Amino acid sequence: CKLAGWRSTVDRSSTSFSSALKSNTSLSSLTVLNLRGNNLQEGDMEVVCNILAKMSNLRSLDISDNPITDEGIRYLIPFFELALQRGNPIRKLRAENCDLSSIGVTKLLECLAPINKPLDMLSIADNHLGSSVAATLVKFLGSHVRELNVEDIGLGPIGFQILEEALPRKVNLSHINISKNRGGMGTAHFVSRLILQAPNLISVNAGSNLLPPESLEVICNALKQTTCNLTRLDLMGNLQLSSTIFPAVFEFKKRGKPILLVPSQQGSCAPYDADP
């Protein structure tokens, strides 16, 4: 169910909306809810959560592009706890570009961690969380999620160092997007460790991370040490990398296709710059 213009609909027809809320049967049958881009504020989230409580079979929730802040996440946590108690926890959650901080995301991850089956997908991309979220994030990486999107959350070199050093011995991830985090060499070390410790890993997006040329050797050495299921490792947008300078990237293939996506020439991709 995609509710574009949700707030304006509520404001204009509060009576009919209230009637709809009383229809628990129809709400309980919903499994997917998309609230992306409805300009929901933190003050709206209490009402939203009251609605969510009636959706006993909800499996996928998208609240992206709404400035709900940490306070909005605080309202959501009781719903996630209720869903867990019902034995029907959320399976997919997108909270991209919601003006969240590391404090709110840490509380969210701690709330989701007790779920006995890994989330199919979690995206907290485009929230400036900084390196301080890495300590909680790396615990979640181990066995709590299959697909993770942390694009452009401000991890930086320190965040990637924390992720690498504390990465669990075995990680159940299948897909991860760590692009646009300005991690430099720290990104390469984390990716190489992940390749060795995530046997089910299929795709990694590490684009636009200011990787230096020597990072290719680190990553390729990790690929030589494993027979993982990795089919795609995207390193585009890293201007110092080049398959011309390091042609060994073409040695790694899956089903006849190159695993590594690397710029053909140094500086051949548009740079990523988060500064205004």
Mean pLDDT score across all residues of the chain: 88
How high is the pLDDT of residue 29? 87
Give the model confidence (pLDDT) of 159-205 as tens digits: 999 999 999 999 999 999 999 999 999 999 999 999 999 999 999 99
CATH number where 26 lies: 3.80.10.10
Whether residues 106 and 239 share a domain: the answer is no
Classify residue 121: in a domain, yes or no.
Answer: no
C-alpha 34 chain-centroid distance = 17
How high is the pLDDT of residue 26? 76
Contacts of 180 (CB under 8 A, 6+ apart): 151, 152, 207, 208, 209, 237, 272, 274
Classify residue 120: in a domain, yes or no.
Answer: no
Domain boundary among 82, 115, 148: 115
Cβ(48)–Cβ(35) below 8 Å? yes
How high is the pLDDT of residue 233? 98
How high is the pLDDT of residue 222? 96
Stretch 57-68: mean pLDDT: 96
Cβ(216)–Cβ(249) below 8 Å? yes
Handedness of CA 66, 174, 176, 208 (dihedral sign): negative
Classify residue 72: in a domain, yes or no.
Answer: yes
pLDDT at 4 over 90: no
How high is the pLDDT of residue 27? 84
Contacts of 167 (CB under 8 A, 6+ apart): 138, 141, 142, 190, 193, 194, 197
Stretch 83-89: mean pLDDT: 90
Range of the domain at 255: 128-276
Whether residues 133 and 48 share a domain: the answer is no
Cβ(268)–Cβ(241) below 8 Å? no
Whether residues 133 and 184 share a domain: the answer is yes
Whether residues 132 and 109 share a domain: the answer is no
User: How would residue 227 be classed by pLDDT, with cut points 50, 70 and 90?
Assistant: confident
- pTM recorded for the entire structure: 0.89
* Number of independent structural domains in the chain: 2
Domain boundary among 115, 144, 163: 115
pLDDT at 265 over 90: no
Give the model confidence (pLDDT) of 110-164 as tens digits: 999 988 889 999 999 999 999 999 999 999 988 899 999 999 999 999 999 999 9
